[in-house]
A and B are shown apart, each in its own frame.
Chain A
């Protein structure tokens, strides 16, 4: 009996005298410190790859000013040394302002030169992040929805059969594109996205369709913290839009460089136009014929509203 008593006492004492064996940090590895399913950040560095949108938003209170710029064909009929490999011409230039209303919703306004039948285009866009990819077994994808409406401000043609004849109907000037953007940050350096896309153009040539569907794919491979390769490609589901008929899928590849607040893309792409309703429907330039071009995207973030400071 005494033996029992002593051993019990001994155990009790030893337990209480040394409640902590090992590291102090181990006691936090319990159910009170759950593995948080925090959202994955920075799937992409900016709101656009070459031609496609990314799932990224302009965050609350930030304004993204962006200049996108495509030169003319490097080689082929329009390129070569005579035009300094396309430098003589700017096929399209777009100035855009995107503002973050919340961290998940931004709206944009832009003006582009326009590269094809419609020119001098104003566009209005909105992007909403529906769900975020999360760590530690959370949701595996980030999904955003993007809509953009384009309005051409060009002078109407006198030719009643032309697609830029707007005289009797203002709505002929309008085009819409809506897309879902589904992305995954696979590793800290590799991100991929898919973009099922719906295009509606109010006024098209009588042999053409108002509605088209396309699927885009885009991605980024980082090779340093601030530099990476970005690329994107679209396939348009339309029997008429084949290389045989002179239509080509837009394919862009570029170098992404980030310098704290600025993001630059130095890119090569075969499409002339810069907004979805243009480059998805009217791209007649082929990489294989040398009809690709140099381009730049420059994005600068301005903080319009600062967050409230954390105080204690």
Chain B
């Protein structure tokens, strides 16, 4: 009986080592707005990301308050006037990789991800291109796409159209670790 129990235990342990769920707590996301009078850049290094290599599910979540800007007033306006972070504290993306490659093998894979993108309380169906790199037992992913402010009810006052772009460029980079086994 003991032996069998150990066998079972061993089985669980070994399967969990080749985890299919990978997570990242230090995902980098950069917002970039290019407008005639001013370029604005906001960066967070503490967004969350997760990836299921079997099902192709992906998950990203960024606390709005964690974005840092080059001056404090921009940061305040970003939170107070545009993203309303007290009402809508996070932006997230939940989707599935459409052309899921075999991520147990090393390589660089171009993927297409379709899913729901929520910012400022507004959810949009989005299809986004990205790259997944599997190397030496590590997985990293990156993606670059554009978001229209108007799609997410983010109003830009007419006075400021020359300072804030109508379309922001979003860059996302994640380094994943296998999900640690919980007790």
Residues of A within 8 A of B (CB): 1, 4-5, 8-9, 11-13, 15-17, 19-20, 23-25, 27-28, 30, 32-33, 38, 41-42, 59-62, 103, 188, 225-226, 258-261, 301, 303, 306-310, 312
Instruction: Say whether B157 contacts A8, CB under 8 Å.
Output: no
Instruction: Say whether A59 contacts B50, CB under 8 Å.
Output: no
Instruction: Say whether B86 contacts A188, CB under 8 Å.
Output: yes
Q: Which 7 A-B pairs have the closest CB atoms?
A: A16-B15, A59-B72, A24-B59, A310-B43, A24-B50, A12-B8, A188-B86
Instruction: Say whether B70 contacts A28, CB under 8 Å.
Output: no
Instruction: Say whether B52 contacts A24, CB under 8 Å.
Output: yes
> In the complex, what's the smallest C-beta–C-beta distance from B117 to chain A, in angstroms?
14
Instruction: Say whether B12 contacts A15, CB under 8 Å.
Output: yes
A1 to B1 CA separation, bound complex (whole angstroms): 8
Query: Which residue of the partner chain B has the closest CB to A308?
Result: B70
Instruction: Say whether B58 contacts A24, CB under 8 Å.
Output: yes
Complex contacts, A261 vs chain B, CB 8 Å: 73
Which of B77-85, B105-113, B121-129, B133-141 contacts its partner? B77-85
A9 to B10 CA separation, bound complex (whole angstroms): 10
A9 to B86 CA separation, bound complex (whole angstroms): 48
- From 45 to 62 in chain B, residues with beta carbon under 8 angstroms from any chain A beta carbon are 45, 48, 50-52, 57-59, 61
> In the complex, what's the smallest C-beta–C-beta distance from A44 to chain B, in angstroms?
11
A27 to B45 CA separation, bound complex (whole angstroms): 19
Complex contacts, B75 vs chain A, CB 8 Å: 41
Instruction: Say whether B71 contacts A59, CB under 8 Å.
Output: yes
Complex contacts, A303 vs chain B, CB 8 Å: 71, 73
**Is B92 in the interface zone, CB < 8 Å from A?**
yes
Query: Which residue of the partner chain B has the closest CB to A9?
Result: B8
How many CB-defined contacts (below 8 Å) exist between A and B?
A: 120
Interface residues on B, range: 35 or more
Query: Which residue of the partner chain A has the closest CB to B163?
Result: A260
Complex contacts, B179 vs chain A, CB 8 Å: 19-20, 27
**Is B25 in the interface zone, CB < 8 Å from A?**
yes
Query: Which residue of the partner chain A has the closest CB to B60?
Result: A25
Complex contacts, B51 vs chain A, CB 8 Å: 24
> In the complex, what's the smallest C-beta–C-beta distance from A300 to chain B, in angstroms?
11
Instruction: Say whether B68 contacts A23, CB under 8 Å.
Output: no
Complex contacts, A23 vs chain B, CB 8 Å: 59, 94
Complex contacts, B16 vs chain A, CB 8 Å: 16, 19
Given the known A-B contacts A19-B179, A60-B72, are A259 and B157 also in contact in the complex, defined by CB atoms under 8 Å?
A: yes
Instruction: Say whether B73 contacts A59, CB under 8 Å.
Output: yes
Complex contacts, B76 vs chain A, CB 8 Å: 41-42
Complex contacts, B69 vs chain A, CB 8 Å: 307
- For B48, give its contact among A8, A11, A33, A301 (CB under 8 Å): A33
Instruction: Say whether B25 contacts A312, CB under 8 Å.
Output: no
Instruction: Say whether B71 contacts A306, CB under 8 Å.
Output: yes
**Is B41 in the interface zone, CB < 8 Å from A?**
yes
A303 to B65 CA separation, bound complex (whole angstroms): 21
Told that A13-B11, A42-B76 touch, could you supply 4 new A-B pairs with CB distance under 8 A? A19-B16, A188-B87, A258-B81, A312-B43
> In the complex, what's the smallest C-beta–C-beta distance from A15 to chain B, in angstroms?
6
Query: Which residue of the partner chain A has the closest CB to B20?
Result: A19
Query: Which residue of the partner chain A has the closest CB to B85?
Result: A41
Given the known A-B contacts A13-B11, A19-B179, are A226 and B65 also in contact in the complex, defined by CB atoms under 8 Å?
A: no
Instruction: Pick the most buried of A16, A41, A225, A261: most chain B CB atoms within 10 A of its CB.
Output: A16
